[in-house]
Amino acid sequence: MKKLWIILGSIIAIIIIAVLCIPFFVNAEKFRPMVESHAKEALGRSVTIGKMNVSLLKGGVVLEDVSVADDPAFSKQPFLTAKSLTVGVEMMPLIMSRDIRVTSVQLDEPQINLMHNAAGKWNFSTLGANSAQSNKAPSSGGQNISVQDLRIAHGRITVDQAAKRHTYDDVNVRVQNFSDKSAFPFNVDAKTPGGGSLSVEGEAGPMAKSGDITDTPMHGTIKVEDLDLAASGFVDPGTGIAGVVDYDGTVKSDGKNLHSEGKISAKNLKLVKGGTPSHEVIHMDYASDLNLDAKKGTISRADVSAGNGTNPAHFTGTVDTRGQTMVVNGVLKATKMPIETIEGLLPAVGVVLPPGSQLQGGTVNADLNIAGPVDRLVTSGPIDIVNSKLAGFNLKSKASAIGALAGIPSGSDMLIQTLASKLRVAPEGIKADALQLVIPGVGTVTGDGVIGANNSLNFKMKAKLANGGGAVGQLANLSNLGQAKGEIPFMIQGTTQNPIFIPDVAGMVGNTLKAPVQGTQGITNVLGGLFGKKKSK
């Protein structure tokens, strides 16, 4: 019995020694030219491997210093470089017959460079194109390509788009039961620039026969948290657009058309240069379809709201993704949207209200056209506000040079019965035409003007006062003054934070004064009283 145990122990020792010696008997370097050739045939790109060896500890063949060339139309630099590529193989077929049967693949610490050109193409779209067009499989005999477990660990992806480069770190990918002829499950997670995170889980395949990997059918769920718009590269930081976005949605593609829907929330949103973060969280619930060949699509639903999300605005339109920046063309309609939604968005479009003031109560109606590249959108159309107030804004105090003698009632709030205008909101500022403001107890104010990207104001206005305007009304009613009887012309300058009301002397007197009224001294006395100055003796 003792001898039997000694014999068994000796056999086990021989097996262990033999296994430990396998790396010395199997010269993996002999396989390197074949692996490089098959990889080049499969990917349609030149592939180089620094060194190959068999590692029992890692369960297969280890390829060190791997490099995959880029599409020459994009770059002469490598598309991918990796510290190592571990290929899990069945050891006995490898030893006995030099037959490589792959069970797993793991790419460690790869650096992947993605590029997007002006024609809307990505450099990864041509991976495998040569192989697909020639209908050749990378292994002899046209066999199915399959790997039980394929992983990318701790990768780094750089994205070059619109002359900007952005980096995604700690990228991890896992594909199970990969095959080029059937569907396979996958999941991806990564850290986004600015400290956010991205995760995708779904199923893809079979691989597209066209050779364009973007034509491969797939479906999955996408979850994004704390995506910094400015840092991510989705928009040009020079446009002033910024904010932190969360996204939870789904995508589904048959290789020709892609359907996407989900919910987006944006915190601290800015839409123009000179803007400040919005006070409210902006929400959007959307659904869209994109033709992958034409790179054009439609947005069938985009419900936009702020804060508690009640009574959202509705957007529908088209998108064009052929260039480096997506172009949008659509209509945004709002009916009785709470004024608090607009108040929270004003800072995002560069409008900062006077200190201590706030829009409260009332509703907004709008019918706006939104068009242009997403980083240079132009919004235009009519908008009106009903039964609101600008709390904390004393109109009499601000317009003292005009209003002291006009009978404007004093108060800490400015009531707004209606405010209507045709707006044009663009990166360079806001243009308001046909502006009409009805203030209870004061009258009607009309005019037009511009709010610059730096919050500067330049408005020419006329006030038709409800009470006749006192001394102001006396002056305006003189037949040769003003452009219409009872209207008081004035200008609003300064900034949205500190508006300055200035009497428009040129508009009031101008070229219409044909002869002295009560003598030159009389005009001086009236104007002096109008502008808050003492009458001359």
Q: What is the pLDDT of residues 233-257, one digit of tens each?
A: 666 666 677 889 999 999 999 989 9
Adjacent-strand bridge partners of 391: 358
Cα–Cα distance measured from residue 31 to residue 37, given in angstroms and rounded to the nearest whole number: 10
> How far apart, in Å, are the Cα atoms of 535 and each of 476, 528, 529?
18, 6, 6
Cα–Cα distance measured from residue 4 to residue 158, given in angstroms and rounded to the nearest whole number: 62
Query: What would the DSSP string read from start to end of 320-364?
Result: E-SSSS-EEEEEEEEEEEEHHHHHHHGGGGT--PPTT-EEES-EE
522 confidence band (pLDDT: 50, 70, 90) = very low
Q: What percent of the chain has pLDDT over 90?
A: 21
How far the first Cα of the chain sits from its last, in Å, is: 137
Q: Are 504 and 487 in contact (CB under 8 A)?
A: no
| Phi, then psi, of 42 in degrees rounded to 5 | -75, -40
14 confidence band (pLDDT: 50, 70, 90) = very low
Q: Are 135 and 181 in contact (CB under 8 A)?
A: no
145 confidence band (pLDDT: 50, 70, 90) = low
Instruction: Name which residue leads in pLDDT, 53 or 475.
Output: 53
**Average pLDDT of span 438-458:** 87
> What pLDDT is recorded for position 138?
41
299 confidence band (pLDDT: 50, 70, 90) = very high
Given a cut of 80, is residue 521 above it in pLDDT?
no
Cα–Cα distance measured from residue 439 to residue 409, given in angstroms and rounded to the nearest whole number: 11
Given a cut of 70, is residue 17 above it in pLDDT?
no
> What pLDDT is recorded for position 57?
58
3-state SS, 386-405, equals: EEEEEECCCHHHHCHHHHCC
Q: What is the pLDDT of residues 303-359, one digit of tens each?
A: 988 877 678 889 999 999 887 778 999 999 989 888 877 777 777 776 777 777 888
**Average pLDDT of span 196-215:** 83
> What pLDDT is recorded for position 262?
96
Given a cut of 50, is residue 13 above it in pLDDT?
no
Asked which of 13-17, 266-270, 329-333 is least confident by mean pLDDT, the reply is 13-17
> How far apart, in Å, are the Cα atoms of 214 and each of 205, 306, 324, 367?
11, 35, 17, 37
> What pLDDT is recorded for position 339?
85
Q: What is the pLDDT of residues 99-136, one digit of tens each?
A: 556 678 888 888 988 887 777 677 887 776 555 455 44
Cα–Cα distance measured from residue 511 to residue 505, given in angstroms and rounded to the nearest whole number: 11
Asked which of 279-283, 390-394, 525-529 is least confident by mean pLDDT, the reply is 525-529
Measure the CA dihedral 269/260/323/298, to 10°. Answer: -100
Omega cis (within 30) before 72: no
Asked which of 56-65, 147-156, 296-305, 431-440 is least confident by mean pLDDT, the reply is 56-65
Instruction: Name which residue leads in pLDDT, 16 or 166.
Output: 166
Asked which of 33-37, 160-164, 357-361 is least confident by mean pLDDT, the reply is 160-164
> What pLDDT is recorded for position 478?
45
> What pLDDT is recorded for position 98?
57
Cα–Cα distance measured from residue 330 to residue 297, given in angstroms and rounded to the nearest whole number: 12
Instruction: Name which residue leads in pLDDT, 239 or 50.
Output: 50
Asked which of 43-52, 422-431, 446-455, 521-530 is least confident by mean pLDDT, the reply is 521-530
> How far apart, in Å, are the Cα atoms of 171 and each of 109, 168, 497?
9, 7, 45
pTM exceeding the 0.85 threshold for the entire prediction: no
Adjacent-strand bridge partners of 145: none
> How far apart, in Å, are the Cα atoms of 424 and each of 369, 370, 427, 429?
9, 10, 10, 8
515 confidence band (pLDDT: 50, 70, 90) = very low
Cα–Cα distance measured from residue 322 to residue 341, given in angstroms and rounded to the nearest whole number: 33
Distance of CA 253 to the CA centre of its chain: 22
> What pLDDT is recorded for position 20?
44
Q: Which residue has the tokens 């997007």?
A: 116
* Residue extents of the structural domains in the chain: 27-206, 393-537
**Average pLDDT of span 20-41:** 65
Q: Which residue has the tokens 């730096």?
A: 454
> What pLDDT is recorded for position 531?
43
Q: What is the pLDDT of residues 219-231, one digit of tens each?
A: 999 999 999 888 8
Residue 531: its H or E element: none
Question: Nearest Cα to 241, choosing from 224, 225, 228, 260?
Answer: 228
**Average pLDDT of span 503-521:** 52
Q: Are 125 and 213 in contact (CB under 8 A)?
A: yes
Asked which of 124-138, 314-328, 398-412, 448-462 is least confident by mean pLDDT, the reply is 124-138
